[in-house]
Structure 1
């Protein structure tokens, strides 16, 4: 995959992530005004990761980062619970 394709892939993923985050906040009555600025950006590759993989970088404030971490943690716990 060339650099242009990597950038395009990462741009799409960043946009999807931003829209999902805004929907999640709005569904919970949280303000979306403070996330008017972009929270996700893209890079074609990272120094720390192999070439050929698009990367998305999050720029959340500390409170939003904690909310996202808690959301992911709850999701992991729900996925690990046996089906009833």
Structure 2
């Protein structure tokens, strides 16, 4: 009998909270940074790691819900 495994999915969200940039993964705290650029890099690194482990990931920057291409390096703004 064949089993089809479904890859786990994770969404990493980046949002500013009183000057601290917070990254969450599926609504749970993942990391906190002092700059948006560092938060983007951290979220993208987490997403790439999740995909390396066989999952599917996406990175979203709030409040505009902009999806970031996490397979490319980000140097912040």
Same topology, TM > 0.5: no
User: TM-score scaled by structure 1?
Assistant: 0.29
Q: Rg: which structure is higher? A: 1
